[in-house]
Amino acid sequence: MDLEGYTKNMLYKKVAKEEIIEKLVELIREFKGYDQNLAERWADAIIQESETTLDVKNYFARYERSGVKIGDIGVGSRGLGDFYVHSKIGEIIGKTSAIIDSKDMDDSGVVKIDKSKDPSCYIVVSVDGIHSRLSDFPFLSGFHVTKATLRDIYVMGARPVALLSDIHVADDGDVSKIFEHIAGISSVSKVMDVPLITGSTLRIGGDMVIGDRMTGCVGAVGVANYLTARSYSSPGDVILMSEGSGGGTISTTALYYGEEDVVSETLNVRFLTAADSLIKSDLIKKIHTMTDVTNGGLRGDLNEISKTAKIKLIFYEDKVRSLVNKKVLDMLNRHEIDYLGVSLDSLLVICPPEMVNDIKDVLKSKNVRIEEIGHVEEGTGVEMVEDGINKKFEPKFRESAYTPIKKVVGEVKPANFEDM
């Protein structure tokens, strides 16, 4: 719990200082086990720091409040709201010298390092945050965030060469969380032979946050000679998708719905070995686009590709369904979770038709199944063919609600979204 945020909220509401101190002391004693005297000293210090910084005038230390809350607009929820905020981030950064940057809404950023060489040499960089609901499961959070950041490198057509990590644990967290999390990262690192070479460990909010919440990220750096960006897709291409059993999202669903046996289905690196095998083959030179079915599931990814490449994508629902791990799909169906709106950890390849059989052969050699699920046409938007009927296919305001609390929050766009 953020004691500073809690205190400032009470001060904004003009709650009496004595009442704030009383509540702070109760919280501090509950979490810390301190005696009354020490808890009161903590509370006094928190009040002092909070009051002092409640209305800072320094231009560089303050910020203009928009009145829009992170949760209300859907940041981190991998839907329309999240995509909108990401587009604004790209606008703030502005034009850069990069080949691919934030404005492209792609999986990773890319810079060219030697323009005189042929083929060109590119540096590809990605970063992914720990799944917010895997804080209590540090090995899983490390394993899945590492898979995620390596996916983002591979789908740009790059070979990952290094990993970095950043871990933040709240003041009352057990130090073993750090070690378990690193073990999760290292397990993927060693299997894929991509070293974890640097990192940082900090506390969330320093002394001001009580509890044991953990967050952070893992980043990766890769090198490439040929890129497979989203913008390279073109009419006439076909869409291939590999089998998927999910990652952090599916693990989270399994844990919070009490279906722990499903977690083991996610503990694999099939996506990474599949993408790695394509990059090591000459096929990578002719593949137009690779991406991972993650952010908001197919609903999010296909629509982002359509916008970026200015194309229309059509796919067949039954073909996609056949590629989802049966145990995972059954769980999603039991809890009425739309499988098309969650991360499936599937590889999506968009390429010319004549490449399909060669791609299948390469992945078959790695025991990874991949099938054609659709095609690309001129136009805009995405259509799903279900029972022979073409239906408009769009992302929801948030990704599919995959935990009990997410079902309460919902997926529907707020009535005041345009105002926000």
Domain with CATH 3.90.650.10 in the chain: 71-95+229-420
- C-alpha distance from residue 50 to each of 4, 18, 30, 159 (Å): 6, 15, 21, 47
- C-alpha distance from residue 64 to each of 57, 60, 61, 68 (Å): 12, 11, 11, 11
Query: Residue 120: what pLDDT?
Result: 81
Query: Residue 412: what pLDDT?
Result: 72
Task: Give yes or no for a contact between 73 and 58, defined as CB atoms under 8 angstroms apart.
Answer: no
Cα 110 from Cα 115, distance rounded (Å)? 13
Query: Residue 82: what pLDDT?
Result: 82
Query: Residue 230: what pLDDT?
Result: 83
Q: The pTM is what? A: 0.92
Tokens of 371: 């099938």
User: Which residue, among 392, 353, 373, has the nearest Cα to 293 in the 3D structure?
Assistant: 373
Residues of the chain with pLDDT under 50: none
User: Which residue, among 141, 92, 155, has the nearest Cα to 287 in the 3D structure?
Assistant: 155
Fold of 102-227: 60s Ribosomal Protein L30; Chain: A; (3.30.1330)
- What is the CA 231 to chain-centroid distance, rounded? 20
Query: Residue 18: what pLDDT?
Result: 96
Please return the burial class of 322, using the count of CB atoms within 10 Å of its CB with bins 0-12, 13-18 and 19+. middle
Tokens of 124: 């590809």
User: Which residue, among 304, 164, 308, 284, has the nearest Cα to 231 in the 3D structure?
Assistant: 308
2 SS3 class:
strand
Query: Residue 112: what pLDDT?
Result: 93
Task: Give yes or no for a contact between 331 and 263, defined as CB atoms under 8 angstroms apart.
Answer: no
Task: Give yes or no for a contact between 134 and 251, defined as CB atoms under 8 angstroms apart.
Answer: yes
Cα 271 from Cα 265, distance rounded (Å)? 13
Mean pLDDT of the residues in the chain: 93
Helix axes 3-12, 17-32, angle to 10 degrees: 160
Bridge-based pairing of strands 381-386 and 389-392 is: antiparallel
Per-position DSSP letters for 157-218, written without gaps between them: T-EEEEEEEEEEE-TTS-THHHHHHHHHHHHHHHHHT--EEEEEEEETTGGGB-S--EEEEE
Cα 205 from Cα 5, distance rounded (Å)? 10
Sheet strand arrangement including 196-203: 109-114, 121-129, 214-224, 159-169, 196-203
* C-alpha R_g of the chain: 23
**Residue 10 φ/ψ, nearest 5 degrees:** -65, -40
Cα 147 from Cα 307, distance rounded (Å)? 26
Alpha helices by DSSP H, listed for 194-285, are 248-256, 270-280
Cα 46 from Cα 83, distance rounded (Å)? 36
Fold of 71-95+229-420: Phosphoribosyl-aminoimidazole Synthetase; Chain A, domain 2 (3.90.650)
Query: Residue 337: what pLDDT?
Result: 95
Query: Residue 420: what pLDDT?
Result: 61
